[in-house]
Structure 1
C-alpha cells in the first residue's frame, strides 16, 4: 500500500489541524482535522478491499521459432458476489506492460484481452502476473496486488533444414544407416517391464532377484552417435550489440538444426555446452536443450522436435523447461569453463563417433584442443560463426566451416563430404 502525494498532504494537514485545534481550543480546526483523518482512513479501507478475481491465460502457441507469431489470451473473471469497482490492471509481457481494461466488472462476468508476444529474440519471455491497482475515489491511497501466475513463452532458435546427416563410424553392410532402435544384440542396460515388451527379452535371473520383471535394453551399434558441442563462453563470442552476440545466436540455430535433423532420422544425438549446465542432462530431451543458450541475458523450439509446441494454459507456474529446445533458452553466455576442459570430458566419456563443435570467432585459438579429439571421435566438424577472416586451411587437421549465420551453415553443411 502506498500513500499518494495528495494523501500525504492530507495526512499532514490532519495532524496540524488536530494539533492546533486541541492546543488552542478551536473546535472548528478540530472538526476539519478529524474530517481529514476520517477521509484518509476511509481511503485505506476502500483500497484494502480485495476483489475476488480469477485469471486464466492461454498462450497460442507457447513454443515458437524466433520471429514466428505468438499471442497470449488473458481472461479476468469476477468471482466475488459484490460488484467490483473500476480497476487499473496491467499485465507484464517480458519488459513491456500491457494495459487490461477491468471496468465495472459484474459478479460472474469476465473480460478478455488478446495481445502479441514479442518473438524477435530467442529466449524465454515471462508473461504475467496480472498487476491490479486499486485506489480510493479521492486518490489518497494506492494498493497493487498480483493475480495469477507467470507463464513462459519459449522462443526457440530458427531451425534450418539440413539434407545431409553424418553417417558416423558404424554403418550397415549395405552402406546405409538402419534406424532400428532395438535391432541389435548389443546389451545396454536393464529396465522395468512395460506392457508390450517381448518376453524373450526378460532377464529372468535379475527379475527373480529384485522381485519384478526386468527387461534387457539393447542398442543398435550400426547407428552413428552424434555429439554437438556448443561453445557458450563469453570469450568465444566477443562481438555483442545491445547485449546480444549474433554469432552465438547463429550457433544456437546451427545446433538446433543439426539436432532436429538427427532426431528426424532417428539417430542418437547428445547436446553439450563448453560451460556445463547446472540442470541434470537426463531431465530433458536434446532438441529442447539446444534452444536455451542465450547470449548476454537469461532468457528457445521444442516440444515434439517440430518446433510447434502445444497450447499452454498456465502450466504449474514454475517456468521449468520441459523439453530440449527449451534448454537453449535458459543457458546464457558465461565466463566460466574452457574448451580444454570440455575436450577432456569428451575424451573421457567418448559419447559418440561424430563430433560437431559450434563456436564463435574467439574460439578459433582453442581449436587445437578439438583437433586432439580425432582419435576418440573419427569424424569432427567445426562451425565458426561471425569471424571476419576465414580459418586457415588445415587448422588442427579439422573440417572447418566458416559461415556468417545459421542459414549459411545449413548450406555449407550439406556440402561437407568428409565426415
Structure 2
C-alpha cells in the first residue's frame, strides 16, 4: 500500500483543519477536517480489502526452440462470494508487461487471457506472478499485490540437422548396425548354434535343457563418446549487438545440434562448459535431450580470469585427466583464437578434436594445426561445414 501525493495532502489538510477548528472554535473547519479524515479512512479501508483471486497459468509449450511459437494461457477466478472485482492487472512476461482485464469480475466467475510469449531470443523466460493494482475513487491510496506463482518457459537454441556424427575409435569391422560391436566379454543373450561358432561359447546347461545347442552372445559395450565443450567466457565473444553476442548464440546452436545428433544415433555425449555454471534442477520428468537443451537455454556468458586463472586452462587439464570421450568438439568465438594451444595438448587423450570457431572472418589460427577447424559465421553454416567433413 502506498499513499499518493493527493492522499498526503489530504491528511495534512485534515490535521490543519481539525486543529484550527477545535482550537479557535470554528465548526465549519472542524466539519471539513472530519470529512477529510473520513475520506482518508475509507481509502485505507479500500486498500485493506484483498481480492480473493485464484490464478492458474499454462504454457503451451513450456519448452520451445528459438523463433518457434509459444503462448501463455492465464485463468483468473474471483473466489469472493459477494463482491465483484474491478481491478487493473498485468502479467509479467520476461521484461515486458501484459495487461489483463479484470473489470467487474463477478463472484465465482473467471476470465481467460491468452497471449504470445516472445521467443526471438534464447534463454529462460519467467512468466508471472500476476500484479494487481488498485486505487480508491479519490486517488488517495494505491495498492499493488501479487497473485499466483510464476512459470518458466525454456527457449532452446535452434537445432540444425547434422547428417552424421564422429564414429570415434571403437568401430565394428562389419559396420555399426546396432551401434554395439559383437565379440567382447559382456554377456548379452543366448542364441542357437550355427556352423562356425566356437564350442567354448556353447552354454551346455541350457543346451541340455532344451535339446539344442545354444551359444552365448557377447557384445562390446565401449561406444564412441563425444564431449562437447562450449566456451562461455565473455572474452571469447567480444562483439555484441544490443548486449547480445551473436557468436555465442551460434555456438549454442552448434552445441545443441551436435548433442541432438548424438542422441539420435544413441551415442553417449557429454556437455561441458569452460566457465562452470550451476546446473538446472533435474525434476526427472523431462527426457535427457531436454535436460541438455535446458542447460544450453540457461547458459550465459561469464567473466573469466587470465593466465593461471583462465578457466579454459583448468578445464583442459581436467579433460586430459578424466578423458571423458574420444572425440572433443570445442565451440568458441573469435576471442579464443590465441587459446587454441590448450586444445593441442588434448590430442593424446582425444584422438579427434574438432574446433568450431564463429566470427573469426576466415583467419585460421596457427595453433589449430592437427585439428579439424570449422571457421563459420553462424549455426547454419556450421551444420553445412560439419556434414562436409570426410575424415575426423
Say which SS state the counterpart of residue 105 (structure 2) adopts: coil
2: distance between equivalents of 1:165 and 1:304?
21
**2:374 is the counterpart of 1:401:** yes
**2:337 is the counterpart of 1:369:** no
Shift of 1:416: 1.0
Structure 2 match to 1:332:
300
Q: 2:317 aligns with which of 344, 363, 367?
A: 344
Shift of 1:12: 1.4
Shift of 1:252: 0.1
Q: Which has the higher mean CA deviation after the structures are superposed, 63-72 or 17-26?
A: 17-26
How many residue pairs match? The answer is 357
Do the aligned residues in 1 keep the contact of 2:237 with 2:333 (CA within 8 Å)? yes
TM-score, length of structure 2 as denominator length = 0.86
| Residues 245-256 of structure 1: pairs in structure 2 closer than 5 A | 245-256=245-256
Do the aligned residues in 2 keep the contact of 1:4 with 1:139 (CA within 8 Å)? yes
Do the aligned residues in 1 keep the contact of 2:338 with 2:367 (CA within 8 Å)? no
Structure 2 match to 1:315:
none
| Residues 116-195 of structure 1: pairs in structure 2 closer than 5 A | 116-176=116-176, 178-180=178-180, 185=185
- Shift in alpha-carbon separation, 1:20–1:142, aligned structure 2, 3 A: same
Structure 2 match to 1:357:
330
2: distance between equivalents of 1:183 and 1:139?
83
Q: Which has the higher mean CA deviation after the structures are superposed, 264-273 or 81-90?
A: 81-90
| Residues 2-401 of structure 1: pairs in structure 2 closer than 5 A | 2-176=2-176, 178-180=178-180, 185=185, 220-279=220-279, 283=282, 303-304=286-287, 323-336=291-304, 337-392=310-365, 395-401=368-374
1: distance between equivalents of 2:367 and 2:21?
93
Do the aligned residues in 2 keep the contact of 1:387 with 1:402 (CA within 8 Å)? yes
Encode CA deviations 1:218-261: one digit per residue, 9 max, x unaligned: 99534200000000001100001111100000000000000000
- Shift in alpha-carbon separation, 1:261–1:272, aligned structure 2, 3 A: same
1: distance between equivalents of 2:249 and 2:350?
26
- Shift in alpha-carbon separation, 1:219–1:342, aligned structure 2, 3 A: farther
Shift of 1:47: 1.8
Say which SS state the counterpart of residue 153 (structure 1) adopts: strand
Q: Which has the higher mean CA deviation after the structures are superposed, 243-252 or 386-395?
A: 386-395
Do the aligned residues in 2 keep the contact of 1:178 with 1:223 (CA within 8 Å)? no
Structure 2 match to 1:312:
none
Do the aligned residues in 2 keep the contact of 1:63 with 1:303 (CA within 8 Å)? no
2: distance between equivalents of 1:369 and 1:17?
80
Do the aligned residues in 2 keep the contact of 1:284 with 1:324 (CA within 8 Å)? no
Shift of 1:127: 0.6
2: distance between equivalents of 1:181 and 1:305?
24
Q: 1:413 aligns with which of 378, 382, 386?
A: 386
Encode CA deviations 1:384-419: one digit per residue, 9 max, x unaligned: 001123214672321100000000000000111221
Q: Which has the higher mean CA deviation after the structures are superposed, 129-138 or 51-60?
A: 129-138
Q: Which has the higher mean CA deviation after the structures are superposed, 250-259 or 105-114?
A: 105-114
Shift of 1:140: 1.1
Shift of 1:24: 1.5
Do the aligned residues in 2 keep the contact of 1:374 with 1:380 (CA within 8 Å)? yes
* RMSD over aligned Cα atoms: 2.3
Encode CA deviations 1:22-55: one digit per residue, 9 max, x unaligned: 2212121111101101110111101210111000
2: distance between equivalents of 1:181 and 1:139?
78
Do the aligned residues in 2 keep the contact of 1:233 with 1:333 (CA within 8 Å)? yes
Q: Any gaps of 5 or more consecutive residues in structure 2?
A: 188-217, 305-309
